[in-house]
Amino acid sequence: RKVLHIVGARPNFMKVAPIHRAIRERGVLSQTLVHTGQHYDVKMSDVFFTDLGMPAPDIHLGIGSGSHTEQTARVMLELEKVFASEKPDLVSVVGDVNSTLAGALVAAKMNIRLAHVEAGLRSGDHSMPEEINRLLTDRVADLLLTPSADADANLLREGIAPSRIRLVGNVMIDSLLTAREQALRLPTLKELGFTPRHYAVCTLHRASNVDDVNTLRGLLSALAHVASRLPVVFPVHPRTRKRIVDMGLGSTLERTPGLRLVDPLGYLEFLALTSQARLVFTDSGGLQEETTVLGIPCLTVRENTERPITVDVGTNLVVGTDPARIQQAADLILDGHEKKGRVPELWDGRSGERIARLYEEVLGVGDAPRRA
Ligand code: UD1
């Protein structure tokens, strides 16, 4: 019985690695790892395989960048051939990127059993490409594996049968817990001249934030304010770097006191930085969850989140994109009024194992089912 995993973009790698490892260690199912090539820079892709101890992909499609339609369609065309030759019994997709949707649609069209890991997250914002990817992937998935109970509730509200939904916890946190000690041994902070808790980390790449000049300018001015109070390191996503150059904002940023722009970092180096930061300033989805587990205050510079549990129980604050509001929230934290949180249930490092067991169960092999 064979599981075929699809990865494509940076946030997929840390979700698939623990599932792939658990299946390998249990030795019951066979598996194929397909990389679509949606992300292709060494710093956006290869470094994660090394850092996460994941084997190189068995198949690489080399799709690259393009419009959403082009990218999704090209992945679909190639995946159809791969599914026909590999004949998987189950296709496993994770997250909400274009490669996720492409894999889901092809599996559904070819009548192959489909599992979606990280199912049920909803921002309610249909202008967000990831929201479309989430909705459609969940619609066609046979098995919807959720990270938290709010996701189950979303799916039930959309009329998905309860028998298709399983709460397995947050698989990305498996990677974090596995790598944390190793990350803390790296000299990353020292090399940047930082001391623990005396710097902030920023990431920005969401299309709605970086493709609009006014929004991006506003966010960067709020960031400059944070940087006037403590050093900020900003690993710049390729999409964001292009926009900064196109909009002529590069020289201002380079001259901003306290702000350090660097290339995208590997998984371990980045974890070394976030886990010891005073504050994280981001529009990422995954970082909202990682900071909640690490207990680090997070300012999410978006109008909404598909991960409300990080706000309800974790350290995350969704502060929108108005610079005055962001500065106010940052000042509160830096003045010592930070939000405390706790780790959501089942974000315990065992999700990969639960998923591997479930795949065995639905494929009719392995042990008797255990509560997921
Ligand atoms: C994608 C995901 C997003 C995820 C993000 C994480 C979708 C719809 N979006 O956004 O959900 O949070 O990945 O990084 O799937 N580029 C490079 N090198 C690369 C990859 C991209 O230079 O290795 C540049 C290209 O100019 C490309 C642009 O970045 O056009 C955007 O890449 P794309 O994969 O379309 O979307 P992301 O913004 O990375």
pLDDT tens string 234-261: 999 999 999 999 999 999 999 999 999 9
Q: Which of 5, 20, 35, 205 is catalytic?
A: 205
- Ligand 1 contact via 41 beta carbon (within 6 Å): yes
Grade residue 144 by pLDDT with cuts at 50, 70 and 90.
very high
pLDDT tens string 164-200: 999 999 999 999 999 999 999 999 999 999 999 999 9
Is the predicted pLDDT of residue 204 greater than 90, yes or no? Answer: yes
User: How many angstroms separate the CA atoms of 13 and 44, rounded?
Assistant: 10
* 126 annotated active-site: no
CA of 7 to the centre of ligand 1 (A): 13
Q: List the alpha helices (DSSP H) in the chain.
A: 10-26, 46-52, 68-86, 98-109, 129-140, 149-157, 171-184, 188-192, 207-210, 213-229, 238-246, 250-255, 267-275, 286-294, 309-312, 323-334, 351-362
- At 246 the pLDDT is 96
* Residue appearing with tokens 């339609």: 69
Q: Whose CA is nearest to atom 15 of ligand 1?
A: 97
pLDDT tens string 123-132: 999 999 999 9
- Ligand 1 contact via 337 beta carbon (within 6 Å): no
- Ligand 1 contact via 39 beta carbon (within 6 Å): yes
To the nearest 10 degrees (0 to 180), the angle between helices 323-334 and 213-229 is: 20
CA of 151 to the centre of ligand 1 (A): 25
Mean pLDDT calculated for residue range 296-312: 98
Is the predicted pLDDT of residue 336 greater than 60, yes or no? Answer: yes
Grade residue 370 by pLDDT with cuts at 50, 70 and 90.
very low
pTM of the model: 0.97
Are 287 and 274 contacting, i.e. CB atoms less than 8 angstroms apart?
Answer: yes
User: How many angstroms separate the CA atoms of 76 and 78, rounded?
Assistant: 5
What is the number of the ligand 1 atom nearest to the C-alpha of 99? Answer: 15
Is the predicted pLDDT of residue 369 greater than 80, yes or no? Answer: no
Closest CA to 96 of 128, 60, 140: 128
- At 371 the pLDDT is 45
Is the predicted pLDDT of residue 353 greater than 60, yes or no? Answer: yes
User: From residue 199, how far is each of 84, 189, 236, 286, 350 by CA, in Å?
Assistant: 50, 10, 17, 20, 31
- At 367 the pLDDT is 65
Grade residue 263 by pLDDT with cuts at 50, 70 and 90.
very high
CA of 39 to the centre of ligand 1 (A): 6
Percent pLDDT > 90 in the chain is 98
- Ligand 1 contact via 206 beta carbon (within 6 Å): no
260 pairs with which residues across the strands?
Answer: 233
CA of 181 to the centre of ligand 1 (A): 29
**ipTM of the complex as predicted:** 0.97
What is the number of the ligand 1 atom nearest to the C-alpha of 66? Answer: 30
- Mean per-residue pLDDT of the chain: 97
